[in-house]
């Protein structure tokens, strides 16, 4: 059942700039409905009743009892805060049908860069990095505790340190892909025309290749299912929201979709990203990669000499150092600075987060209004059918 042009136009006007009260009204209805649904679901779930609630009660009791256990409790709180920080950043990165924040560039990749810097300076991994969270001022962060006089931290040492926040962040990006899937699945199950899925099929771009790729992606997902989702999620795919919409439309089971998305994003993709940035931010590994490329490509078969008029290893070296230089310029110092520039940077990040939140409110309000309009049309249709009978 489709909406009229007038109704669609009315829904599109639901923005905080044009109709703030209506937008907030529809958004609040959605929030209340979801709180009721998930509150009821969690209250009946055995994991909450027999695991989370006892742990919460034990934590509250131990918090008010003095003793040596408070040190362990403080560490537990720091771990929970660390997990929450990277998980929320991952969710912010992918939620909202393309409106997510680039938290990888803003937070995760600079974190890897700082770990690599500290490892190179200390020649080991004896430095704290757990408190690398926004608006926290830890003077000991990334400062060597016991620097070595010789040797160096290995690639695997650095990888072990950065992979944990990477996996947590990747898990958050997988969670952020749930809304497009859930909305599309709900529309298919209720028999309502899924506007997003129809847009994927019907919208034509000025580049025919993009249209062919969309059709190929739909057929690929329908044919390969679980493996197809893993392959689509295992690289920085900006169009993965479309995969979630397709999987919801094809009624793929939730846990099958989420597990495939988790494996692709939180295992394969972040592992590749971690390895790439460790190499990028450590000169000795850049030199090792360049040397390896020089040895495996014979000069007589080097394609870069034909197209770039220089060997591939030199081209790769220049490219990696150029990328690293630009990344340093864009991400170094502003988050750590206590000067006015640091204050401006924090204000800029706050504006980005605010814009993202407002965008999400508008999208969810429009989705709720669409659903309510469709429900009214269905009620009217059922009423007319009963009158005819």
pLDDT of 365 > 70? The answer is yes
Q: Are 245 and 276 in contact (CB under 8 A)?
A: no
What average pLDDT score do residues 345-369 get? Answer: 73
Three-class DSSP category at 138: coil
Band of the pLDDT at 338, cuts 50, 70, 90? very low
- The pLDDT value recorded for residue 160 is 94
d(CA 16, CA 365): 10
* Burial of 246 (C-beta count, 10 Å sphere; 0-12/13-18/19+): buried
DSSP letter assigned to residue 300:
G
Over residues 1-23, mean pLDDT: 79
Euclidean distance between CA atoms 146 and 107, whole angstroms: 27
Query: Token pair of 90, please?
Result: 């991952």
The answer to whether residues 282 and 244 touch, using CB atoms and an 8 Å cutoff, is no
Tokens of 84: 């929450």
Say yes or no to pLDDT of 351 above 50: yes
Can you spell out the DSSP letters for 177-212? Answer: THHHHHHHHHHHHHT---HHHHHHHH---S-HHHHH
Q: How far is CA 19 from CA 22, 321, 351, 367, in A?
A: 6, 49, 21, 15
pLDDT at 359 over 70: yes
Q: What global pTM score does this model have?
A: 0.75
d(CA 248, CA 250): 5
Name the percent of the chain lying above pLDDT 70.
84
Q: Enumerate the H helices of 13-68 as residue ranges.
A: 20-44, 46-47, 53-63
* Tens-digit pLDDT profile for residues 263-294: 999 999 999 999 999 998 888 888 888 888 88
Range 58-66 average pLDDT: 87
pLDDT of 2: 61
Residue linked to tokens 């299912």: 225
The residues spanned by each domain of the chain are 91-274
The CA distances from residue 231 to 107, 217, 350, in Å, are 25, 11, 34
Between the alpha carbon of residue 352 and those of residues 133, 152, 166, 210, 347, the distances in Å are 17, 38, 22, 29, 9
Give the helix/strand (H/E) hosting 156.
helix 155-176
Residue 334: its pLDDT value, please?
43
- Among 162, 135, 180, 114, smallest CA distance to 273 is for 162
In whole angstroms, what is the distance from residue 255 CA to residue 364 CA?
Answer: 23
């Amino acid at each position: 059942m489709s909406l009229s042009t007038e109704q669609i136009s009315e829904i599109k006007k639901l923005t905080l700039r044009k109709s703030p009260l209506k937008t907030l009204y529809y958004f609040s209805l959605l929030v209340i409905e979801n709180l009721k649904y998930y509150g009821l679901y969690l209250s009946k779930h055995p994991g909450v009743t027999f695991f989370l609630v006892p742990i919460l009660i034990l934590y509250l009791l131990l918090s008010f009892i003095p003793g040596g256990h408070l040190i362990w409790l403080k560490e537990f709180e720091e771990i929970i805060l660390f997990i929450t920080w990277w998980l929320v950043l991952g969710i912010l990165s992918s939620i909202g049908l393309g409106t997510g924040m680039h938290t990888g560039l803003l937070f995760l990749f600079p974190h890897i860069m700082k770990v690599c810097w500290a490892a190179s300076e200390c020649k080991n991994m004896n430095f704290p990095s757990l408190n690398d969270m926004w608006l926290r001022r830890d003077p000991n962060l990334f400062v060597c505790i016991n620097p070595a006089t010789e040797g160096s931290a290995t690639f695997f040492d650095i990888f072990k340190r950065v992979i944990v926040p990477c996996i947590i962040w990747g898990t958050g990006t997988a969670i952020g892909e749930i809304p497009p899937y859930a909305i599309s699945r709900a529309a298919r199950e209720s028999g309502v025309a899924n506007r997003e899925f129809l847009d994927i099929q019907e919208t034509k771009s000025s580049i025919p290749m993009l249209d062919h790729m969309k059709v190929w992606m739909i057929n690929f997902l329908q044919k390969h299912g679980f493996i197809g989702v893993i392959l689509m999620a295992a690289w920085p795919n900006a169009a993965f929201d479309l995969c979630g919409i397709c999987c919801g439309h094809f009624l793929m089971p939730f846990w099958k979709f989420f597990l495939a998305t988790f494996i692709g994003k939180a295992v394969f993709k972040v592992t590749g990203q971690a390895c790439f940035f460790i190499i990028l931010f450590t000169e000795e590994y850049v030199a090792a990669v360049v040397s390896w490329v020089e040895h495996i490509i014979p000069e007589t078969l080097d394609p870069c000499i034909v197209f770039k008029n220089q060997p591939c290893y030199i081209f790769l070296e220049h490219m990696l150092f150029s990328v690293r230089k630009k990344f340093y310029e864009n991400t170094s110092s502003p988050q750590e600075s206590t000067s006015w520039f640091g204050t401006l940077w924090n204000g800029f990040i706050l504006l980005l987060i605010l814009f993202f939140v407002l965008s999400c409110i508008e999208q969810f309000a429009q989705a709720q209004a669409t659903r309510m309009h469709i429900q009214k049309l269905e009620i009217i249709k059922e009423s007319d059918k009963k009158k005819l009978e």
